[in-house]
Chains A and B, each alone.
Chain A
């Protein structure tokens, strides 16, 4: 948890693979491009400058401000995710880029041209909604062909392009099907093919996977990434799900209450959230004041905390918080637990509230005071669930395979690999 750089490198190796990434890290823009605000203006790609979107304003009254001075740039071929809780203004920003909402301030520039006054249908963008919004009166291929018809593409060329796109999204032969007969996932694939068919300069995706169930969502996120990369599509992807954002995007822009909090590649965002708010939204579950963490906790921990703040990245002076990630807290069971030796730093006593087996890991819900009052947190237990073999030949005296049960008191420690530091306040 001290040293950000090595951990980030480690994540970059391990992280993307599990999210089903297709292109490796080299495709990611370097950290230099990851700054908030306008990037190097080379005239290509999308440039949003101080965009403001307001709703319900009339004669004198301001109404509500959905987007409040957001600046963002998207390079050609890049996929940027707009991530934020519902109502944070991310969809409004997307709609403003598409030309569906008027800007109350700021500019949207694409390829060096200011888009003010350019109507929606002349922007050459693509748009995909959460529920697909397929045309119910057209079959699959005529849905996909819609944009091509609008552009006046000849029939033969149109048919070829439709077949190509359907193949790209894995729906070969679905052309004559009525859209009502499609499943949710198929609908979204058709919607994607339809949006991509006219080769949009920019593809805008508004929560395209949110209406699907979890397994399908994860699979489609990977496929979406694959298709976007294969077609070299510049895209802005709106989502409230950080896993999805990380799986699909080259860079993630975190929005809250109409403002942009941080823009960074997934690994960097995860490893170094710019603020407590960002970390909270990414799923960091607790925040321990760094100084406080050193003074409380078990005796003997002081020495471990001593080598703390000094090593933080430059500019990290002053009060900082240790953000405890979903995998940032470990349960140490038994003195022979290997983690006991490897995990540096503090130890806390925690009361077990519940134990659950989730996605192949044991999650122990505990009440623990990390220095900011008693909180209910989730800690991972290193002792795995009972393996099939172990059922036949139980090992050790504890029948639960060493699982803590409700009411137990366990020792927990922070796992630096699952923590980050953020500025306080």
Chain B
């Protein structure tokens, strides 16, 4: 080839020398390189699987088995007995009823809010969005206490008779879950290409018709996805129901707790756990289907926000008013009520006495530790739980974000994805209870994990892992595989590709995941209430204990402690939200 030779003779000396150096550095044996990644991927899959197996599957399966097996033989007697009780069916009905009502109301109230906060821009929108996000991460116990403060006879809404009522529980559930609807639906709505609506309007459709025939159908998958997740959360609600339901109202979840801790009736609790699993599996199945459809729909939307400034048309004004009413009545009122009430002492005088009392163990020594000590426990446990959840969840997200070439491997990845969503649905009480009955001899090792104190962060991590996966995974999935290919072609070994491409790109979402995991761990109550020893009680456990004890002073302390916990969780979440940038809430 004449030109090739020509070029070779023209190559400058410096260039040629450089080239040789570069080449030499890459000349390694190929086989060693191929073994490394395989081992690394094995580890990345193995660690989370081992974690999920030992700390989730095993306890839950053992618990389920306990309902079926007596003295080594299959025995369905427990089922007959538990299912024969009218109380069981009343609780199943209540569980489904409050979940259905809570879901319907959350969607109904969430849609106008999503429109206002994601399709319209106006001064103060960021603040309002932040405000709507807060309830989602507030500890359930805190929310229970806040609404109880409103509903009691002396409370602001005392006259409405909501104390220990189904309506009261539903309102509190809606408070929590409206934010799920707003974030999930709003995220899609904001990015929905407005040109489809404009085309419909140009074809003569009225605004109402556009909404009905174009907008809502486009949002359908997101609404379905949000609704199924909300149903799941409502059906497994624990802290709120326990605090607000009193003796008359409960769910399967609270009944498991009552059976175990008050009656030591483990067999009934096991049977109820199985029942709970059935409900949850159904809801998860529906949610998974809806999520898949939403991810398909998401590919159709633009990357640009379609929000327009708020205009003073009657329709916009109405939606804004409704939104403000929802935020004011449903969110600000209970929280403001809680804060205000926390500054009133046992005799009704204003002051800091409740906060001062946080340094004590309560009236008549209701607690083993002071509230401040409990706060320390909470933060310590939550830090450990966050570390575990981010490592495990990060690995899962990494593995699941890859699309392997082989068909079998692709299926395995999809299966792994689904497996790590299970803890989202399986009730925390079931997990805690499962730990309680199995981990006295983990993997046959005679070392009682239950007394070591390590179980609390582990249980909280199990609950937080799905959130971490859902936060990091979309970001990793959005990384164009060709970016990694470019990096590899430029001489980066797989490990370096991970370090220089994936990690920097996912860093922000990882930060958000840390915030999420920390906030959720701080407020975790279901599993923690089973596992925390009295001398290592966390803040939610302490709050619940305080409101269960007689004495106005204890109640006042519970209020102050709730404010402290809420402030801490909300600050962590607000900080984490800043890391998110303008990405919409797609983690659910």
- Interface set of A (CB-CB < 8 Å, partner B): 23, 26-30, 33, 44-45, 58-59, 75-78, 98-100, 102, 117-127, 129, 133, 135-137, 146-147, 149-153, 161, 194-195, 198-199, 201, 204, 232, 250
Q: Is the CB of B490 within 8 A of A146?
A: yes
Distance between Cα atoms of A204 and B486 in the complex (Å)? 11
B4-39 interface code vs A (CB 8 A; 1 in, 0 out): 101110110001001101110111101101100000
A136 contacts across to B, CB distance below 8 A = 505
Q: Is the CB of A198 within 8 A of B22?
A: yes
Distance between Cα atoms of A118 and B504 in the complex (Å)? 27
- Inter-chain pairs besides A150-B490, A195-B490, 6 sampled, C-beta below 8 Å: A29-B3, A119-B33, A120-B489, A123-B489, A127-B485, A129-B482
A44 contacts across to B, CB distance below 8 A = 4
B505 contacts across to A, CB distance below 8 A = 136-137
B73 to chain A, nearest CB (A): 42
Distance between Cα atoms of A146 and B23 in the complex (Å)? 16
A102 to chain B, nearest CB (A): 8
Tell yes or no: B217 within 8 A of A by CB: no
Q: With A27-B3, A77-B8, A152-B25 in contact, do A127 and B486 touch (Cβ < 8 Å)?
A: yes
Q: With A58-B407, A75-B1, A150-B496 in contact, do A135 and B489 touch (Cβ < 8 Å)?
A: no
Q: Is the interface of B mostly helix, strand, loop or mixed?
A: helix
B447-487 interface code vs A (CB 8 A; 1 in, 0 out): 00000000000000000000000000000000010110111
A199 contacts across to B, CB distance below 8 A = 15, 18-19, 22
Tell me the chain B residues, 286-303 only, with Cβ under 8 Å from chain A: none
CB closest chain-B residue, reference A198: B22
CB closest chain-A residue, reference B487: A146
Distance between Cα atoms of A125 and B30 in the complex (Å)? 16
Tell yes or no: B203 within 8 A of A by CB: no
A38 to chain B, nearest CB (A): 14
Tell yes or no: B282 within 8 A of A by CB: no
A120 to chain B, nearest CB (A): 4
In the complex, how many residues of chain B place their beta carbon closer than 8 angstroms to a beta carbon of chain A? 46
Q: Is the CB of B7 within 8 A of A77?
A: yes
B88 contacts across to A, CB distance below 8 A = none
B3 to chain A, nearest CB (A): 4
B28 contacts across to A, CB distance below 8 A = 122
Q: Which 9 A-B pairs have the closest CB atoms?
A: A75-B1, A147-B490, A150-B491, A77-B7, A232-B7, A127-B489, A120-B488, A77-B4, A76-B4
Tell yes or no: B501 within 8 A of A by CB: yes
A-B contact pairs, 5 of them (CB 8 A): A100-B489, A120-B485, A135-B487, A151-B21, A153-B22
Distance between Cα atoms of A37 and B7 in the complex (Å)? 24
Distance between Cα atoms of A154 and B454 in the complex (Å)? 47
B366 to chain A, nearest CB (A): 52
Q: Is the CB of B7 within 8 A of A126?
A: no
A127 contacts across to B, CB distance below 8 A = 485-486, 489-490
Tell me the chain B residues, 481-534 only, with Cβ under 8 Å from chain A: 482-483, 485-494, 496-497, 500-501, 504-505
B11 contacts across to A, CB distance below 8 A = 232
Q: Is the CB of A146 within 8 A of B500?
A: yes
A23 contacts across to B, CB distance below 8 A = 3
CB closest chain-B residue, reference A132: B486
Distance between Cα atoms of A152 and B25 in the complex (Å)? 8
Tell yes or no: B406 within 8 A of A by CB: yes
Q: Is the CB of B2 within 8 A of A29?
A: yes
Point out which of B28, B482, B496 has the most chain A C-beta atoms below 10 A from its C-beta. Answer: B482
B482 contacts across to A, CB distance below 8 A = 129, 133
B21 contacts across to A, CB distance below 8 A = 151, 153
B496 contacts across to A, CB distance below 8 A = 121, 150
Among candidates B1, B22, B30, B407, residue contacting A76 with C-beta atoms closer than 8 Å: B1
Tell me the chain B residues, 48-95 only, with Cβ under 8 Å from chain A: none
Q: Is the CB of B485 within 8 A of A137?
A: no
A350 to chain B, nearest CB (A): 42
B94 to chain A, nearest CB (A): 49
CB closest chain-A residue, reference B496: A150
Among candidates A122, A124, A195, A198, residue contacting B33 with C-beta atoms closer than 8 Å: A122
Point out which of A58, A125, A150 has the most chain B C-beta atoms below 10 A from its C-beta. Answer: A150
